Structure formats: C-alpha cells, structure tokens
Structure 1
C-alpha cells in the first residue's frame, strides 16, 4: 500500500528520531553511533553497482542492515539513514533491496527521512551567515 507522505511529516519524524536517540536536533550525527546504540547488526559487503542496501527485522525485533561496500562513505551513511526509516517507520515492512533509483512513495519517504536526519534544515540554516539569509 503506497501512501502519500508530506515532507514536513517526514522531517518531523527525523527530528523526533534524533531526540529519541538522545541526539541534538541540529548538529551533524554519526549514523554508526545509532547502529551501535540500538544493537543493529550492520554488514558491509560488495553488491551490484545499482544496489545501496537492505534492511530486515526478525520476528523477535532484531534489526539488520546490509550496506554496499562499493559505494562512497557518504552514500553508505545516507543508505544507513534510509534503512533506519524502513526499520522504524515502514507501515508494512518487508525485505527488499534499495536501489539508487527507488521510485515508490515509501522509498521517497525514506530518502527524505535520510536527508532530514543527516542534514536537518535548522542545522543547515544555522550555518549560513545572516548577511546571506537576508
């Protein structure tokens, strides 16, 4: 079932997720800290050039993320943030590989969440000198 997601709703989820993880709502984060803190088993292996990663959750609620080790470190961090959305917010989670060109509404929502988690609007605006914002 594909639902429409508003950007504001997804950004709010990312902000709430940061708070729930005990993180500042504006500063840069280390996604690997989130993985360790939540005991999410994460494996880095070479995958096809179009695949970024996948996530799974067991019936016992154990979480797992596979990340393509062939993609850049920045893309790996984005992929982890994207997969965190699937693990914590997918209404009907199911195992699937996330490709660079994911087009479903859920994939768009996960991309928006990853962007907001890694680069919250408040934090980015806070870095811009006021003279430029005027």
Structure 2
C-alpha cells in the first residue's frame, strides 16, 4: 500500500492515536523555540506535517510555518483545526523526497515521525539522512 493511501485512510483518527496532547505540543514548541534561539523572523518547515500536531503552537505564536504532506486528507484535518488558515502558515500537498525549495529557504526544519514513511528515502537530500 502506498504511504499516501495509508495516511489518507487514517487521517480522521490520526490525532486520537497519538500521545501528543495540546499542552505537551506547547511545551515541545517552547523547547524548540529556546533551542534554536528563535526570533519573530524565524521560519519553520515541517515535511510530513500531517494534521499539524507538532507545529500548531508555532503557528499560534506567530512564526512562519510551512507544512508539507503527501496526504491531502491529513492536510484537510490540519486546516479544520484552525478554521481559517492564518497568513503565517503555508500548507503544501507534496512528496517530501521531492522538495523544490532552495537551500537556506528555512531557518529550522522539523522532522517528527516522517523519515521512516518516505518510500524513496534515497532521494532525500544527503544532509537530511
């Protein structure tokens, strides 16, 4: 089964099967912000953003966040959580092994439970693996 089909099928129940609650996500986001010495201009990329569990706190804090996912259904679940997608969030339906961004397009790249799901992981940029 293709990863996109798998994630499309589990999108609606995905959050209920994860340990990451909103308070923990906020705590993790604050740790990341401190770790990278984020400023208001710091930009974040999360390939495999899924339903946004990891980055919603960053979005709510006003950081520029780009989320990419191979599953349109996962991205739809993310959008539903926010009601209206804020201007500091860009969601892109794409394959993480084929990103078209130039080097240094983002200050911070977060990968959480994503690399193991990339079917063509050898196509990822060498510096990622």
Tell me whether the two structures share a fold, i.e. TM-score over 0.5: no
Q: TM (normalized to structure 2)?
A: 0.29
Higher relative contact order (CA 8 A, sep 6+): 1
